[in-house]
Structure 1
Amino acid sequence: MKRFAYAAIPVIFLLASAVSAKGVDELPTDQQALYQRVDPQLPLGPSAFRDFVAKKQPPWKIGYASTYAGNTWRASIQDEMTNVILPAYQKAGLISDLVVTQSDLKDAVQIQQMRQMVDSGVDAIIICCSNVTAINQTIEYAHSKGVPVFSFSGYVTSPYAINVTENNTQGGYAAGKWLAEKIGGKGNVLLVSGIPGFASSDSFDAGAKGVLAEFPDIKLVGNVAGNWTDQVAQVEVQKFLATNPGKVDGIIVQSASENGVLNAVRQSGRDLMPVVLGGEASAACFWRNNPGFIEQSFHFWPPRAEARMVWDVMMRTLEGQGPKVQSIPRPVITYSIDEVNATLGENCDPNSTAWLEPANDGWWPKEVAAGYFLRPEDPLTWRPKP
């Protein structure tokens, strides 16, 4: 898949009450600000791996216990890990293999797969978008065997994991605020969630609903589950529009669903209202061809950037660099139609499965990454001490 980049990456910082916790207090001031609007269940204590020593020298074997493979976001994640990141770390002699499993959204299956990974000798496990509490005992089991677990795009509450995640509450808040202002602070809004019950989906929804509550003339007229999948979102939005003839003034969408939502609205015969876009190249292609549609979009969870970030944190931890905090949230990043025009050609694919990505490691810059570790080094050039 083609990767996309942008030159300008303005970041939205949202103010709230201050957060104070050991570990967080050790971060640079600008990074501490990212903890001021987070899901209240997100663990904020010091990392259990500050003094971690890997159970053996590299090359290390990594497990990726994914929960789902049925959308373009997950496909981009796996492609980045297996075809871009893994070969680089194998060439450096730091990684031997990556073992990938899929649990099809079944907690019991993911638990079994993770335990098998531990018992078969993996040195670390990456998990994605998992249930907040269901696998905590399995994470503790992995920890007892010297295997750290890294959760990305969502979080778990176990103290024996490191959460490497976008700040989804902030993302939902930013999306809701933009849309509320776009429709003039009044009207009817439809919310298209991800998969209810998963941390990233619920946190995003909480942020969106929270900001909409600040606008008394805005009514949330519906909430459907798009399952982060265009085909599912298209069907669910079509059903909603067919059974709810009232006006819809705007739609908040969790990626990867926006192209399905756009298709559903256009097929309904209704006039197209403002829709929150979150990074799908297909939806950005529509925007490129209809520049008056909206004036801003968002990187909520750019898949390749997220894959690189969780891998970076995992490698630094295995190398003994000492993560300071249990959870590392990243802020939403905006992008404009000018940036889309500079990236997508005039003949862009309206059915593309690719994603737009922040430029130049803008999601997780090296200088920012270093501030989250007690003994930072470049994880790719690091070598064990003789």
Structure 2
Amino acid sequence: MKSCRSRSLRPLGLGAGLLAVSLTLAACGGGAEPSGPATATTPAEADAATAEPAAATATEGQCGSVPEIAPEDPDGVLAALPAELQASYNGFPQPILASPWADWAPEGDGPWDVAILWQPTMNTFTTNVHDGLTEALEASGNVNVVADLAPKDPTDVPGQLQQFNQAVAQDPDLIILMPLAAEPFIEPVEAAAAAGIPTVTPWLPVPTSGAIGISQNDWLAAAKISASVATSIDGEGTALMVHGIPGISSDNNAFAAFDAVLGLCPGIEQAGEVTGNFSTAAAQGAVIQFLSTHPGEVDAVFQAGVMTPGIIQAFEQLGRPVPAIADLGSTQGSIAYAHENQDTYQEFGGSVPDFEIGRVAAEVALRTLAGDGPKLTPILTELKPIDNTNIDDVYQEGWTVNSSGDAWFPDDTFMEPEVLDQFFTGTAR
């Protein structure tokens, strides 16, 4: 069914976009993230809330605390949300914009035509999120998927742009896009919005109000995890910094968070930086090379995502003690190691519920098509923390440090329905 194009849209705002390579490179932003919204009530979160913390919480402004950095809110939409939801936006590097789709609805009650533009399903994250998305759309019984496209190469941004334009030409009611890079899609998404077609962008928000982003706050994830690592070493020692791919948004955001947190920790000295390309093998090789020429003690490692198993293997291969690691993008391998070494190793990671991320993206699309109306973009949440108090709830028999794939609590819903309600106009009335 074609959308009604007669409704006027507010002028589209342009956020300060950062060029971003998708999680295809790493499950990359796949990043681990600590605590969820205060309204969350899953059993895993309840257990974590009542368990003894691994370390004391630092006072704001002290080493081990997370700096408070308010994001840009030019339209005042973030300020209108409950305080616990505003907290999930701390440090987010893009402006929070009012959505022009708040009062929009397609013509009729469906079934609606939806086009999906995805990344190559070359890892478990993109495959699982896609499966969660399509299963939820199909289960609604009110969606016709008129296109489901992805380029063959994870670096083929021009090819994905061409596919997006082809989808717009089909005049669907809505597009769901997981871009290979965010910034190149600003103008195409705005052009689609001008034609009355909203674009939902799961996991990697496109910084324009024409898109409806749904994601985690990767800056806050890195800040909370790195603050916990700093606390675990009492704010003293040397740290190795491991980039994923310098210059892309997930790496930029992680290191901006690391810098903000470690700026409060004058007792932590950075021993050096290496690049692991968001790869277990590459990270292992880079860390081995660094350690071979730096015999001094390393007390902590701050890595940009999913490289923890390779870092662990590098230290063990050289017979060096495994330090505290900021486990952004917790994997089955990192959780397996932490589970087997709980007496000597502390886990600082977060749940990455692939299927539920896809399901929530579908829910955002379905609510928008039903005329519910998103208030703002992007819609952000925080991932649930994994540490030694709840690691047994995540670990599964058979996982080893060599296991790939993301790790998550079995009951993690990514974003609870009652939380998502507060981002939409219809359910908030």
Equivalent residues of 1:298, 1:332 under 8 A apart: no
Offset of residue 370 of structure 1? 0.5
Task: Write out per-residue CA displacement over residues 249-297 of structure 1, whole angstroms, 9 at most, x where no aligned residue.
Answer: 2112233222222223222332211122242122211111111243343
Equivalent residues of 2:315, 2:322 under 8 A apart: yes
Q: What are the equivalent positions in structure 2 for 1:1-386 lying under 5 Å apart?
A: 7-8=44-45, 16=68, 21-39=75-93, 42-54=94-106, 58-67=110-119, 69-82=121-134, 84-89=135-140, 92-96=141-145, 99-102=148-151, 103-128=153-178, 130-277=180-327, 278-299=329-350, 301-358=352-409, 360-376=411-427
Structure-2 change in CA distance of 1:220 and 1:68 (3 Å): farther
Task: Write out per-residue CA displacement over residues 107-131 of structure 1, whole angstroms, 9 at most, x where no aligned residue.
Answer: 3222122112222344333333653
C-alpha RMSD of the superposition: 3.0
Offset of residue 206 of structure 1? 0.7
Q: Residue type matched to 1:99 in 2?
A: D
Offset of residue 328 of structure 1? 1.4
Q: Residue type matched to 1:231 in 2?
A: A
Equivalent residues of 2:338, 2:346 under 8 A apart: no
Q: Secondary structure at the match of 1:126?
A: strand
4+ runs deviating over 6 angstroms: none
In structure 1, the gaps of 5 or more residues are 378-386
Equivalent residues of 1:193, 1:254 under 8 A apart: yes
Equivalent residues of 1:107, 1:135 under 8 A apart: no
Offset of residue 85 of structure 1? 2.8
Tell which has more relative contact order, 1 or 2 (C-alpha 8 A, sep 6+): 2
Task: Write out per-residue CA displacement over residues 271-327 of structure 1, whole angstroms, 9 at most, x where no aligned residue.
Answer: 211122242122211111111243343226443332222222122112211101122
Q: Secondary structure at the match of 1:24?
A: coil
TM-score (norm 2): 0.76
Equivalent residues of 1:156, 1:163 under 8 A apart: yes
In structure 2, the gaps of 5 or more residues are 1-41, 50-56, 58-64
CA–CA distance in structure 1, aligned partners of residues 295 and 392 of structure 2: 35
Q: Residue type matched to 2:249 in 1?
A: A
Structure-2 change in CA distance of 1:138 and 1:8 (3 Å): same
Identical pairs, percent: 24
Q: Which residue of 1 aligns with 2:33?
A: none
Q: Residue type matched to 1:286 in 2?
A: Y
Task: Write out per-residue CA displacement over residues 19-55 of structure 1, whole angstroms, 9 at most, x where no aligned residue.
Answer: 654322332232122233322xx12121111112226
Equivalent residues of 1:67, 1:105 under 8 A apart: no
TM-score (norm 1): 0.83
Q: Residue type matched to 2:387 in 1?
A: S
CA–CA distance in structure 1, aligned partners of residues 345 and 160 of structure 2: 40
CA–CA distance in structure 2, aligned partners of residues 129 and 237 of structure 1: 31
Equivalent residues of 1:285, 1:349 under 8 A apart: yes
Offset of residue 137 of structure 1? 1.0
